[in-house]
Structure 1
């Protein structure tokens, strides 16, 4: 190996290190305040259904932006800059809610956060694919998600400890620090280490593909496998997205737990499970494909709903969030991995990922209103059952979708 090649590999390993730390930092930035927002607004006198509607509007904004954001990620060479800009914007918008928890300001913040968050996933996926290539993509996704969940666990622990002494606003301070770290890391990934041809999954020579807009052909149109996979994500996230925030609100209402510490605890339990789940999913995908892991992820959610419904105790958080860690850890790796396999060679991997995440966003956006209405009008127990039942539909869609050859191949092993 020549000295130039060795130096290049050393520099690329340094860029990959910054990619890992970027995933660590984005964990607390990408989702905004997450469940902390619900308990914060609850302390300001908001009702569960009102919180749910505001969160749903933010989710719908992200849903509408997902495909254009994915297409933009395919087209641009300036992925690092736009990822840094999106991260900084989310931090600013979250701080806006802290300073002005007025309905109009909160609504504006959630809508804009939804748009910014929708751009992060395809930009990060494109950078990762461009650095790792298709062959190493599953393994790199596993490492990305492991760092992501380590970041979630660390920031949840920090927010819980600080929140015990200074209240729920400590979560905002932790998020601001992670935002600064994310911007620092993304700007230290060298552009030369990203293959922008591979980053969009193009099969044609770079000279032909480089400047063609992804919007000139819609790889997701007429693709039943991608549509089926998107519907699976829709129904899963219809049940999943609101379960943790409602569990935190129920514990505060029923048992008078400290909202900041308890919410941080719910996140911490799940994130500690997601780290090994992500790494095991990456290894499993290379040997057995994504199919077995996807089945496990979808089956975990109904069990969470049943436990949350029938075990009225603050300690129910342990099994509920252990199962959450299994499901989320798997899907964090499987979602971009399956999308990349379905669209490999089209040059529109990130646009297709955006399409799948649009359907995922529909489910996540409806989840807060869906669960919040049950909780407000019937009770938290029925809300947990309704949320868990949504994943049963996802399992049915997956069973039917395996008849589609391209989806069956994407869920199986790949030699690419």
Structure 2
């Protein structure tokens, strides 16, 4: 097997297993703190927002680090280990400031994983094949996340919340082995940072200057911030609602909700990567906003457990499309700059503003107005984001190199 083929098979395994570390415990953390330690939605949102803010301000420097280092395999392996260790620390000290501190450390490592995986992939396959590779990465990421959620669903009734932490330990080891299996010589490090093969980056240029000098990047950043403002808190809120309505089954039902979404994200992400060059990026991203707005409205129509989990299928459409196409659009708009990972960090920072605000605002809205009013507000934000995207975001397929 050639180094390129070995590298792609190893990227498949890495994309699959790193899913458990990329976002830490995710929605399970809020349910765990609520059901095991009596936290309310407002306290959960406040603690998670601190880690979210850390991730927000660190994305650009961590992206610049990814661009500058050649040891990208070691970087993603180390980040995976660090995220896992912070999650394993939480049961030992389930109090506000220890949980917030663990979130800070985990955020610093977590924001490194996505850009590093994308950079390695770009360096292996090149820009011509990157859309398909990015879609495959995202599909395998969601498949891995769904399989872990299925394992939690099947084992949580017997072993309780401990299975959350066992699964993270297993996937950490598998991710490190997969990263080590990528042949170092298969990665073109100039291409991995968005340059032609063998090119030297321009000294003194910055990723923020790239963003501020590009109207399409600014539009993508602003619209994405609205998407994440609406989307980031939805799964967590549904998980909390299910946990309150079905005492003792919070972890199990959160896993079921995640599985429902992941079952759709896998084919949607694969389709987005396969068809992005033929159909363009813009119509696929518009569909993500439509799915998110519809999802927020549908949550309010019934409190039935089966209904809430079924509506979660729409999360697979929105998140699958955004996740698969985010690095593709950034690669389109940063080609030739040498700032591929840093540009992901800059735009991700703006998107992250929406995500951080979502966690804090939604938690307080639930306390004051209830779950249905919060879901409708999130749906309105998604609709606004979709309208703005339609008006100001151009098609990025085939844009000229900077």
- Structure-1-length-normalised TM-score: 0.92
1:78 and 2:62 aligned? no
Residue 216 of structure 1, CA deviation: 8.5
1:325 and 2:316 aligned? yes
Partner of 1:378: 369
2:49 to 53, 56, 61: 56
- Partners of 1:24 and 1:223 lie apart in 2 by 33
Residue 214 of structure 1, CA deviation: 6.2
SS in 2 for 1:202: coil
Partner of 1:259: 250
- Partners of 1:216 and 1:290 lie apart in 2 by 22
Q: 1:268 to 1:148 in 2, by over 3 A?
A: same
1:15-414 paired onto structure 2 within 5 Å: 15-43=7-35, 44-203=37-196, 206=198, 208-209=200-201, 212=203, 215=206, 218-256=209-247, 258-402=249-393, 408-410=394-396, 412=397
SS in 2 for 1:77: coil
SS in 2 for 1:268: helix
- The answer (yes or no) to whether the contact 1:287–1:413 under 8 Å persists in 2 is no
Instruction: Tell me the alpha carbon deviations over residues 3-33 of structure 1, each in whole angstroms, 9 at most, x when there is no partner.
Output: xxxx5xx232122111111011111111100
Residue 76 of structure 1, CA deviation: 0.9
- The answer (yes or no) to whether the contact 2:132–2:274 under 8 Å persists in 1 is yes
- The answer (yes or no) to whether the contact 1:304–1:319 under 8 Å persists in 2 is no
- Which blocks of at least 5 consecutive residues in structure 1 are unaligned? 1-6, 403-407
- Which blocks of at least 5 consecutive residues in structure 2 are unaligned? none
1:13 to 5, 19, 22: 5
SS in 2 for 1:359: helix
- Partners of 1:209 and 1:398 lie apart in 2 by 31
Instruction: Tell me the alpha carbon deviations over residues 48-107 of structure 1, each in whole angstroms, 9 at most, x when there is no partner.
Output: 011011111111111101111111111110111111111000000000002211212101
Instruction: Tell me the alpha carbon deviations over residues 171-193 of structure 1, each in whole angstroms, 9 at most, x when there is no partner.
Output: 11101110111111101111110
Residue 169 of structure 1, CA deviation: 2.1
- Partners of 2:274 and 2:251 lie apart in 1 by 35
- The answer (yes or no) to whether the contact 2:244–2:250 under 8 Å persists in 1 is no
- The answer (yes or no) to whether the contact 2:207–2:343 under 8 Å persists in 1 is no
- The answer (yes or no) to whether the contact 2:266–2:320 under 8 Å persists in 1 is yes
Q: Which runs of 4+ in 1 moved over 3 A?
A: 212-218, 412-416
Residue 218 of structure 1, CA deviation: 3.3
- Partners of 1:13 and 1:414 lie apart in 2 by 29
- Partners of 2:258 and 2:398 lie apart in 1 by 32
CA RMSD, aligned part only?
1.8
- Partners of 1:388 and 1:250 lie apart in 2 by 17
- Partners of 2:238 and 2:318 lie apart in 1 by 17
- Partners of 2:177 and 2:395 lie apart in 1 by 39
SS in 1 for 2:200: helix
- The answer (yes or no) to whether the contact 2:208–2:346 under 8 Å persists in 1 is no
Residue 257 of structure 1, CA deviation: 5.8
282-291 vs 261-270, which moves further: 282-291
- Partners of 1:271 and 1:214 lie apart in 2 by 39
Instruction: Tell me the alpha carbon deviations over residues 204-247 of structure 1, each in whole angstroms, 9 at most, x when there is no partner.
Output: x636339x576498322322211110111111111111101110
State the aligned residue count.
400
